[in-house]
Amino acid sequence: MAGKTDVAKQITYLAGALKAPRITEAAARMADQARDAGWSFEDYLAAVLEREVSARNASGAELRIKAAGLPSRKTLEDFDWDAQPATRQQIAALASGGFLLEAQNVVLLGPPGTGKTHLATALGIVAARHGHRVLFATATDWVTRLTDAHRQGNLPRELTRLRRYGLIIVDEVGYLPFEQDAANLFFQLVSSRYEHASLILTSNLPFSGWGGVFGDQAVAAAMIDRIVHHADVLTLKGASYRLRGRGIDSLPSIRTTTDETPG
């Protein structure tokens, strides 16, 4: 008995020295199971370490999700696929996380209330669970952030820092027009991430309407060119889920956004 106690104390000490205190619990919990099942020393060690790695990954993902600034905790499992069946296969492919390793972008276009922000948020959670740092903000908030950095003379440093995030989510492109300076700053954000790290953008406007948002057709064209060069573009359709059961069939912007094909 004394021998087992000494070994348990040693494991506790070593786990603490490794800053892996969960190893103590896993080792104790699995010891009897290993003996009863006749595991080899290697099998037992691998099982204990696997529990520690899984716990660390889960803990790290949770921290990344909390740090991302997501507007809510919406997942792909929560999404109403019956309302957007055409996107299901593409989103399922994106959920593997492969697009992040290849610095590819995702663009979600469609009328208000069709699930663009939900899907962007859910893919952000997927990215965090795959080990990537994520940052979410509306297009207006991103411009404010970049403007502040520019005024302080820190824009290059800020863009470099943001490139360390595997995924940046830009929500609500097109809801408010940008001044020329703001449009140029947003263009620099897109350019700095081109072929380096991923973007997810949502917009209620087709690409043909982005010139009006950024106040310059040339800037909009150059930006779209960089965004879609390596991107999945998904178009969501239909009426807003927020209007269901309220006797309202459409919003003023829906007709203008669905009558055009993004391109």
Which domains, and CATH codes, for the chain? 1-66 (no CATH), 67-237 (3.40.50.300)
Least reliable range by pLDDT among 48-57, 138-147, 236-245, 250-259: 250-259
On the question of pLDDT at 87 being above 80, the answer is yes
CA 134 to chain centre: 5
CA distance 257 to 110: 7
What are the tens digits of pLDDT across the range 129-154?
999 999 999 999 999 999 999 999 99
CA distance 120 to 124: 6
On the question of pLDDT at 30 being above 90, the answer is no
Nearest CA to 4 among 22, 27, 26, 33? 27
Give the count of alpha carbons within 13 A of 142, CB side only.
Answer: 26
The segment with the largest mean pLDDT, out of 3-17, 81-95, 228-242, is 81-95
What pairing do the DSSP bridges indicate for beta strands 167-173 and 198-203?
Answer: parallel
Q: Which tokens go with 214?
A: 């950024």
Average of per-residue pLDDT values in the chain = 88
32 vs 69, higher pLDDT: 69
CA distance 27 to 142: 47
| 244 confidence band (pLDDT: 50, 70, 90) | low
Q: State the average pLDDT over residues 78-93.
A: 94
| 52 confidence band (pLDDT: 50, 70, 90) | confident
| 246 confidence band (pLDDT: 50, 70, 90) | low
CA distance 232 to 104: 8
Buried b (16+ CB within 10 A) or exposed e, 8-26: eeebbeebeeeebeebbeb
Helices 41-67 and 22-37: crossing angle in degrees, nearest 10, is: 150
Q: What is the pLDDT of residue 227?
A: 97
Classify residue 165 by its DSSP letter: S
On the question of pLDDT at 41 being above 60, the answer is yes
CA 140 to chain centre: 18
| 109 confidence band (pLDDT: 50, 70, 90) | very high
User: In sequence order, what are the residues at sequence separation of 6 or more whose Cβ sits closer than 8 angstroms to the Cβ of residue 221?
Assistant: 211
Q: What is the pLDDT of residue 258?
A: 37
Classify residue 148 by its DSSP letter: H
Q: Which tokens go with 244?
A: 């269901």
pTM to 2 decimals?
A: 0.76
**Helices then strands (H, E): number in the chain?**
12, 5
Helices 180-193 and 155-162: crossing angle in degrees, nearest 10, is: 40
Strands (E) in the chain, as ranges, are 105-109, 134-138, 167-173, 198-203, 231-235
